[in-house]
Amino acid sequence: MKFCMRVLRVIASLAMIAGQGVAVAGPQGLGDDVELIQFAPVTKAVAKTVGPAQELDGIAIIEVSDDYSRGVTPVRTDIARRYFERYRDDHDLLLVFTNFEFETGQAAAFANIIKNDVSGIGLANYDNSAAFGSASRRLQNYIDMAAVSRWQLNPSSPGYGSLLDVATHELMHRWVAFPKYLKNGVQSSDLIGQEAAHWSFFLDSDASVMYGADWQMGTDGQFEAVDVRHRLSPLDLYLAGLFSAAEVPDMNLIREGVGATAQDLPVLGFKTPGSVETIGIGQIIAANGERQPDVSHSPKHFSAGVLLLIRPGQGVTEETIFGLQRFARDFETRFAAMTRGRASLSIENQPVQIVASGAPVPISGQALCTTCTLDIAQAKVWLLAQQRASDGAFVDKQVNALATGATALRAMTSGNFGTTTAMAPIRAWLSAFPARHFDDLAFKARVGVAPSIGTEVELAAARDQLLHAGLPGLAPTWSASAWDTAASMVSAGFADLSASERGVFLDRLRSLQNADGGFGIHPGGASHVGLSAWVLNEVAPLADPAAVPITHDSAAWLLLQQSAEGGFGSGADGVLPTAWAVAGLVRLGNGADIASAMSYLRSRQSLAGDWNGSVFTTAEVIRVLAEIAKPNLAFDASIVATPAAPISGDRVHLVGRIRNDGVLAEGVKLAWFLGDPDQGGAMIGAEADLGTLAAGQSLEVSADWESAGFSGAQSIVAVLDRADSIDELNESDNRQTVALEVAELPQAPDAALLRENFTLTPPSVNVFPSAVALSGTVVNIGGADLTAVPVVLYQLRNGVRTELARTELDLPAQASVPLRLDFTL
């Protein structure tokens, strides 16, 4: 069976060289993938065949019993309206997957463009967003990604990148590709190819995902497509409002091309003779008008919702939900990269009812610097300048003077700044300032200031009595809130508590957590963004299994509250919750994207370096960011072994993915072992230096293991930072193991052709007839010799097989033999 499969692959390669078509099984292509919804029906009520939107771990779930075939617009308007009944109407697009197959024509996915208010891109203006339930009129694109079964949702799978590219392709159809250009005073559509919505096969589009190719002139005088479907071109980015006209270079269009039409899909390696027509952006503007809004005024941040449609009675697996969550995060990253950092995409379903953080009116600060970078150094300068010379205190308002002073000292300690000249006075001031309640005692304890005044000692004794029961409130007669419980737990020194004492605290905290994962100001009260973020940040570092469900559920709820700006909360009230949420999410190491949250913090920092003009807020931001200023190298997915059930002698290909979900870049070294390295496992090859991995970046890694001589249960262990030389946020996620059961080598022959070992000489043919030689290696991976094995090369055309060359080989067991077949095309 292996023999036949490898031969078919060789035949397919030969067929492409000879210009013959080869059908490839798999998901459909992307031709015919645009619907311009210019006449959407407006109905009074949503059909009963479309159920209300539900939610599962951040993914909107809608049950649909109606016909969902492509082109059935009414059901799509009803689905969108159901979505906006539950979620905020602030999206530019909806990404819609299904848990069932439906007719999509020739496309694997397609875009339903429901609005165009941009001129100069070759598309008429129209607006059907209201019919899709968007009262804000912001919704522009309803992307049908079709059945999840069509896609590989595992990032380590080879096809995962195709999913991200297809999503980018469909998103870009909002603006691309429709423009004509002016040629000799006449408008021409020759830039356009398939479905009048993609670039021409013959356009040098710099290998745009919107088709065309990267055409280069070869030494044989022909144009060759050296790259296809790889990036967004300057013209794509201009039409999307992300490049100015001046940034779009002239482009070439091949004339008199042969062997294809303008409507064909791009083919890597395709060659054609022809001449070149050079087209400038000025000709496109002359035919379509200038792009309005232009690059200075066009939107740069886009928002999307993600939906999964199901049939009545159909379930949803955890793998599907997890895959869609990861897709959403990875697509945000891919879109930012594809747009060269000019645009961002936020994919999140935000419920209509969101609890406000409810913080007091903030102290006013100086003017904001929305274009500056996050400047922690300047924040430290500003903070030190707020210290009172008279007594060393840091005061926002007298009512919270103790908390403010303790927080400033804690920031100096965590951020390693502030001389003893600054620290000693504030420490002395804190010692002399009487604690009024348990919260004040907790703030003092966090900076190592023990109770010293008579009333404080009595208050501390009362607190200690309640600590053993995990019930400290604000004061002796107050009931315990989530804030009080977490604050007391941290200030008491969690690591120094006994296992039973830790369990009491965590069980109590868990009992105060709402069913949605958040925490209320009062037990049982509505979940509060700021409090939930604070608890997450304080509990995430605790090394106790009982803390895991608390932080997991809290993080899941918080991620649903993140605003389109990237903050957790809005305006000045969102700064502290955002800093706490960022730190907590990073500590968890769950791969959550914090880029937009960090951008939000940057946008709220003043020119002077402070946040909100508040010592407390500025000090807390400095502290939490200083404590997470570390890298964290981890494995992003399970290692995949191919073949999964190897036979002794097989070469096993191992593929995994690593990520840095910390906040600092770090150099990566990876070693592979056969067996646990701590138990004498042998290294496979040498330790690989993979270079620097930026914060938030992931990287696919691979290795090969020769299984010859091994059988039975085997384990392959991949280890990051084997020398343990990197200070990381989490030291427990640097290993990944894959277990293999290696079958004994059968005492039977098994011949195979390895495609990667084959070459053709010459590599391409332009003149017929021509002599061609196929060279490669034939392998006997079995345990018995083969003699006189026939190896035959065929040409397949129109279902007729014609022999081209033949030879016979002797193949000893576990050996490889060179092969050469000479033939004429």
pLDDT mean by block of 10 residues, the chain; 825 residues: 28 26 32 64 65 86 92 93 93 96 89 95 94 95 95 82 92 95 95 93 95 94 93 96 96 95 94 96 96 94 95 86 86 88 88 47 48 78 93 83 91 86 91 81 84 71 60 53 67 66 82 89 77 89 86 93 86 84 84 78 88 92 86 88 91 92 84 95 95 87 92 96 86 89 87 82 90 92 88 90 94 89 92
Whose structure tokens read 């997470």? 628
Short-list 532, 496, 498, CA closest to 514: 532
pLDDT at 264: 93
Domains of the chain: 27-175+299-347 (no CATH), 181-288 (no CATH), 376-627 (1.50.10.20), 633-742 (2.60.40.10), 751-824 (2.60.40.10)
According to the model, what pLDDT value does residue 356 have?
35
User: How far apart, in whole angstroms, are the C-alpha atoms of residue 77 and residue 129?
Assistant: 9
Estimate to the nearest angstrom the gap between the alpha carbon of 594 and the chain centroid: 11
CA separation for the pair 92, 70 (Å, rounded): 21
Written as six digits, the tokens of 41 are 């029906």
pLDDT of residue 32: 61
Read off the tokens for 31.
């031709």
Neighbours of 97 (CB within 10 A): 25
Cα–Cα distance for residue pair 165/185, rounded to 1 Å: 37
User: What counts of helices (H) and strands (E) characterise the chain?
Assistant: 18, 30
* CA 57 – CA 716 distance, rounded (Å): 33
Q: Is 395 left (phi over 0), alpha (psi -120 to 50) or beta?
A: beta
Dump pLDDT digits (tens) for 508-537. 889 889 999 998 876 777 788 888 998 998
CA–CA separation, 15 vs 795, rounded Å? Answer: 7
Two tokens at 307?
């939906």
User: Which of 718, 738, 754, 740 has the alpha carbon at shortest distance from 645?
Assistant: 740
Amino acid at position 393, single letter:
A
Q: Determine how many CB atoms are found less than 10 A away from the CB of residue 701.
A: 22
The pLDDT value recorded for residue 615 is: 93
Find, among 489, 593, 569, 584, the residue nearest to 534 by Cα.
Answer: 584
* β-pair type (735-742, 712-720): antiparallel
Rounded distance between C-alpha atoms, residue 70 and residue 104, angstroms: 5
> Tokens at residue 429, please?
């001031």
Q: Please report, as a single letter, which amino acid is at residue 21.
A: G
Q: What is the pLDDT of residue 788?
A: 93
Angle at 436 between CA 435 and CA 442, to 5 degrees: 55
Spatial distance between the Cα atoms of 501 and 337, rounded to a whole number of angstroms: 48
Question: What angle separates helix 615-627 from helix 376-385, to the nearest 10 degrees?
Answer: 140
Residue 1 CB: number of other CB atoms within 10 A? 7
Using alpha carbons, list the distances in angstroms from residue 389 to 404, 421, 436.
16, 11, 25
Residues 6+ apart with CB under 8 A from 359: 530, 569, 573, 576
Q: For residue 382, give every residue at least 6 positions away whose Cβ sits within 8 Å of its Cβ, in sequence order, or none.
A: 608, 609, 610, 618
Question: Phi and psi for 472 in degrees, rounded to 5?
Answer: -70, 130
- What pLDDT is stored for residue 19 in this prediction? 27
pLDDT for 754 equals 74
Separation between Cα atoms, residue 559 and residue 551, nearest integer Å: 12
Distance of alpha carbon 174 from alpha carbon 343, whole angstroms: 14
Identify whether the C-beta of residue 439 lies closer than 8 Å to the C-beta of residue 487: yes
> pLDDT at position 738, please?
95
Query: Could you read off the pLDDT of 299-344 as tens digits, one per residue?
Result: 999 999 999 999 998 888 878 887 898 898 889 888 988 898 888 8
